[in-house]
Chain A
């Protein structure tokens, strides 16, 4: 304990006590080395949690209320009630928004884009991470640099291009430009660099596998954890995307976010219905989140450390 005594001299008694506590604990293993925080931490976190969840709850409240109460009270009731289901049914059957078409479009776009982006990204990531060829580094630097390019600002020529192709109002206009992702390529390259040993690739090549076979049977399974995370992110991104779809699809062939906009245009004073629609559109992702939220958290944290 001599050093703790020294700490007491140089840094004061409190620090020495803290140091002594910490040292005593560190002998029980790393996990218990750090003290459990007090109730203040939990209180603040709980407040944050309430702020995160409250807008959704409020949506549900307004959705299960009626037009008149909403226009006269900020908080028409404290608990949602079953009338929300009637409103859901109203939204689904509304001729203004074509809910089922929007849902189908959203599902098709999100699924196709996430599967395709994962494939193109993993393929490119495999090439960048594990194959050697002239120009590789320069090309990889180019990919990384493009992540900072605000490509959204190219919408006008994109629109002209789509109208040349007669794709205006068709979902391929949303799908095709989204099939690749610089972020995805970078992400998979990073992952495969560490997750896929050269020995495995060489073993496959020795066994006579072609390059594509090596990719499919060796690299793809190794890439699966990162690939599924990437797929999740792309899915969320596509599901919530509004700017480009709203321009190129328009209200006739909507995705869910566009349907919500149509709802506001069609029933601009019926906030109960609009909020029911907002909740209905958010619900699928909330359900997905309940199952894969853990993976999303892990994905963000992994990407942060590496990126």
Chain B
């Protein structure tokens, strides 16, 4: 009896193929059902809840967007694409799109560059590494809403610390809240503040996965630190760069918290000069217009835009990463060979006799040039 019970589920748990039907008691039947149904049961919470709170709302947004639908009155008449036409006819919508893209570019580009540089510094053999790593991660635990208020003060037009510092350098105060581009810079600074360290750690992890041999080999080939960084590090972490850029664009295009509290009105400034698209959507749905239909149209168009930009990012990142530096790349096979040889020589193993050493190297060097 014991053998019967134990043999069945043990096999079933790894391969639920057609088991040999024997006379099954109730507990065995139960056990077989357990094995068959449990896997689906365990993933069902995710799928059920995700369908209800993730996919359904996103899909239903398209439905809402073709109805006359508002916050108080609820669903009204079917209006076709009228909401889209209305939204596209509002200059604020276009302004919000430009603002969003501008803020996104101002944050994503410097952020990736600084994060990679920071990661390269952290990747050096520094003392108390954990301390520095934790240090760059501090901003991550500050809520975006708090960052927004703090930076709103740092970038205050009058008596703001940044303007005071600029004044010290002899630069006229900048209207961070009045000038359109300046406000984008300030908001991008908030995003960068919170995420640069986080992304630096992601890059750091990728850098640590780069085989150390490559650096040793590059050193032997005479590559300095900068050259090693460009020719070894960056190509090796390209997939991580793509990952970070895509994540940043999905998040960056939905930016809301930072511009929301940059001033007390929270609607993107007097001329909507820093109103982002999600902020605009919020304003249409819950602010001035209280129009769910139009807001849904905004959401749906932004969704498509995010998909398109995500795709473009992907293509672009791949091109950049694969075209690589102009100079010939350090080839792994050659450098590994060189390295193994160098080690053997240093360790004094009789692999390369004194006379033969330079000879072998000469051939490998030629190989490298041919390759």
Contacts and interface: CB of A to CB of B under 8 A. Distances in A.
B286 interface: yes
Interface stretch (A19-27, A78-86, A92-100): A19-27
Given A55-B193, A160-B292, A153 B264 contact: no
Contact of B219 (A19, A211, A294): A19
B149 A264 contact: yes
A305 B206 contact: yes
B319 interface: no
B70 to A, nearest CB: 11
B122 interface: yes
Interface in A194-233: 198, 201-202, 205-208, 210-212, 214-215
B54 A151 contact: yes
Contacts of A212: 38
A67 interface: no
A89 interface: no
A148 B220 CA distance: 42
A156 B197 contact: no
Given A4-B342, A15-B222, A132-B14, A49 B61 contact: no
Contacts of A271: 153
B130 interface: yes
Nearest to A256: B143
B240 A42 contact: no
A45 B132 contact: yes
A234 interface: no
In the A-B complex, the 7 residue pairs with the closest CB atoms: A11-B222, A154-B57, A2-B357, A15-B222, A240-B143, A177-B53, A301-B205
B124 A293 contact: no
Contacts of A70: 159
A71 B156 CA distance: 10
Contacts of B25: none
Interface in A1-43: 1-7, 9-12, 14-15, 18-19, 22-24, 26-27, 30, 33-37, 41-42
Interface in A121-151: 121, 123-124, 126-128, 131-133, 136, 139, 143, 146, 148-151
Contact of B361 (A10, A136, A153, A180): A10
B261 A206 contact: no
A166 interface: no
B138 A53 contact: yes
A10, A36, A201: residue with the most chain B Cβ atoms closer than 10 Å: A10
B141 A288 contact: yes
Nearest to B285: A156
A109 to B, nearest CB: 13
Interface-central residue, B55, B122, B221, B342, by most chain A CB under 10 Å: B342
A133 B17 CA distance: 9
Given A15-B219, A139-B43, A176-B49, 9 more contacts: A6-B361, A22-B219, A152-B254, A242-B260, A243-B256, A261-B261, A285-B141, A293-B137, A301-B202
Interface of B: 5-6, 9-10, 12-16, 31, 34-36, 38-40, 42-43, 45-47, 49-50, 53-58, 60-61, 63-64, 118, 121-122, 124-127, 130, 132-147, 149-151, 153-154, 156, 159-161, 163-164, 193, 197-198, 201-206, 208-209, 212, 216, 219-222, 240, 243, 246, 250, 253-254, 256-257, 260-261, 264, 266, 278, 282, 285-286, 292, 295-296, 299-300, 302-303, 306, 310, 338, 341-343, 345-347, 352, 354, 357-358, 361-362, 365
B125 A35 contact: yes
A36 to B, nearest CB: 6
Given A55-B150, A75-B161, A257-B143, A23 B34 contact: no
A202 B141 contact: no
A56 B256 CA distance: 21
B310 A148 contact: yes
A133 B222 contact: no
Contacts of B133: 297
B161 to A, nearest CB: 4
Contacts of A157: 56-58, 60-61, 63-64, 296
Contacts of B300: 153
Residue among A180, A294, A305 having the largest count of chain B Cβ atoms under 10 Å: A180
Contacts of B212: 30, 33-34
A19 B216 CA distance: 8
Given A2-B354, A4-B342, A278-B146, A156 B299 contact: yes
Contact of A45 (B122, B206, B219, B295): B122
Contacts of B216: 22, 26, 33
Given A23-B343, A132-B14, A301-B202, A211 B35 contact: yes
